[in-house]
Structure 1
Amino acid sequence: MNSIVSEWYEEKKNVDEMRNWNPALKEWERSVISFFPPGARILDIGCGLGREAFALSDFGYNVVGIDISNEVITQVKQLSADKGYHISFQEYDGEHLNFDAEAFDVIIMWAQTFGLLYGNKFRKDYLSECKRVLKKGGLCSFSAHDYRFLTEHYPNCLDDHRFYPFADSVIYWEAFEAADLIQFAELAGFEVLLCEKGNIYKPEDGTILHCLCRK
């Protein structure tokens, strides 16, 4: 994982800002989980402070959350304990998934985690690693910033396909078009089930792209 990303998420002030999240699943996320098998074991990559993990646990899924940030994992473990959840949250190196082959039914990379995987080769290799730890027929769902939406609404924050939402900061998210996400998934050997724009909570929040694929 790029040092720009790891350094950003080790800063307590940046992690503290995550606490302002809406705890509900987003509109597009609710549509995607209709594909998940009941009681699925889910790996939540880039779990942050647990928004998705807590919501999915409430739906009866068995969730494991991982993140590159020690600060994030420290905080989310405390939040989980305070809320009475029994979810495994683990720090990892941002590159290697320290799990056995075929360990999970579903992998999610939501909240634009995919856009922090810098470089085409890294993204392809990372999705291949995701495929390794998925069971046969397992599902991988990942989301990213919608390049076309950003060019229309936030052109001042774009440098080519790099989206810089924070002024005077070096961290950025890669933005994509649907064809890009499909290509990455297929290069890693996945079968793409859908790739589309998704609404967040309400229309004025804008849209993201999300891709659902199967091993």
Structure 2
Amino acid sequence: MSESFNWHKAVTKKWDQNVAFWSEKSRSMWNEGSRSGIIPFVKRYVPVGSQMADIGCGDGYGAFLLSEAGYDVTGVDISPKMIEHANQISGDRLIFKQGDLAELPFEQHTYDGLMAINSLEWTEDPKHALDELYRVLKPGGRLCIAVLGPTAGPRQNSYRRLYGEDVICNTMMPWEFEQLASETGWRTLDGYGVFKEGVKEDVSHMPKPLQQALTFLWVFMLEKQ
């Protein structure tokens, strides 16, 4: 990466420019698309009424659904314009604030649970970002985190790195993320895959790495040890 490249500024600019595009997609993803199973999944592992943060909340719709499910939620995003858009959503148990996953604006052991959906990929140092999530979570707290699978089109955001160009999407395979988590103090409790429509066969009998190889998205539930 060139010395003059500033990851933080580049990512902020990218998402500031994508507010309209993202807000159009967000509701369909959360309501009936690739993210529709996430809130029910969270409810299985994090008690309703818990203090939670949605890290990389984007337009805020996922954080809103989390608050509607009965959680006290803080939505955080690196993009000021995303937060400006998110603040148009009202909720008694919901607030938003601008913040960087690489340096979260919270004290140690603040939250009972965290949600981070496709946000770790947009950090310069995913290991450091995962450590930040660990820091702000209470001991024994749960983290619902999702990373793009090998079949996901948005992985193209990192393609130009093959030309030696600076990119702002640090894509990783689900099994790479799981190894990173296990090496940094997390225990994997559960996980599930989201598949494209072309995957019509029931793949539940396959070993997990093969299932993950077919996914658009893999959603993990981790516990801070």
Task: Compute the TM-score of the two structures, normalised by the length of structure 2.
Answer: 0.74
- Distance in 2, Cα, partners of 1:32 & 1:203: 24
Query: Partner of 1:6: helix, strand, or coil?
Result: helix
Moved more, 63-72 or 170-179: 170-179
| 1:4 paired residue among 5, 10, 16 | 10
2:70 maps to amino acid:
G
Q: Which residue of 1 aligns with 2:48?
A: 38
1:114 maps to amino acid:
L
| 1:192 paired residue among 188, 200, 204 | 188
* Displacement after TM superposition at 1:198 (Å): 2.8
Query: Partner of 1:39: helix, strand, or coil?
Result: coil
Q: Which residue of 2 aligns with 1:107?
A: 114
Cα distance change on mapping 1:106 and 1:133 into 2, 3 Å = same
Query: Partner of 2:171: helix, strand, or coil?
Result: strand
* Displacement after TM superposition at 1:174 (Å): 3.6
Give the alignment of 1:25-64 within 5 angstroms: 26-64=36-74
Query: Partner of 1:60: helix, strand, or coil?
Result: coil
Q: Which residue of 1 aligns with 2:203?
A: none
1:209 pairs with 2:190: no
| 1:15 paired residue among 8, 15, 19 | 19
| 2:98 paired residue among 91, 99, 109 | 91
Cα distance change on mapping 1:108 and 1:28 into 2, 3 Å = closer
Query: Partner of 1:175: helix, strand, or coil?
Result: coil
Q: Which residue of 2 aligns with 1:167?
A: none
Cα distance change on mapping 1:4 and 1:193 into 2, 3 Å = same
Q: Which residue of 1 aligns with 2:209?
A: none
CA contact (8 A) 2:73 2:93 kept: no
2:46 maps to amino acid:
F
Cα distance change on mapping 1:204 and 1:80 into 2, 3 Å = farther
Name the count of aligned residue pairs: 192
1:19 maps to amino acid:
S
- Distance in 2, Cα, partners of 1:196 & 1:175: 19
* Displacement after TM superposition at 1:177 (Å): 2.5
Cα distance change on mapping 1:213 and 1:180 into 2, 3 Å = same
Query: Partner of 1:127: helix, strand, or coil?
Result: helix
Query: Partner of 1:26: helix, strand, or coil?
Result: coil
Cα distance change on mapping 1:36 and 1:204 into 2, 3 Å = farther
1:186 maps to amino acid:
S
Deviations 1:116-163 (CA, angstroms, capped at 9, x unpaired): 123xxx21111111111111110111111102x24xxx59x748xx35
* Displacement after TM superposition at 1:85 (Å): 4.5
Task: Compute the TM-score of the two structures, normalised by the length of structure 1.
Answer: 0.78
Identical-pair percentage: 24
Deviations 1:48-76 (CA, angstroms, capped at 9, x unpaired): 11111111111111000111111111111
Q: Which residue of 1 aligns with 2:134?
A: 131
Question: RMSD value over aligned CA atoms?
Answer: 2.7
Cα distance change on mapping 1:126 and 1:108 into 2, 3 Å = same
- Distance in 2, Cα, partners of 1:9 & 1:114: 14
- Distance in 1, Cα, partners of 2:76 & 2:146: 17
Cα distance change on mapping 1:207 and 1:158 into 2, 3 Å = closer
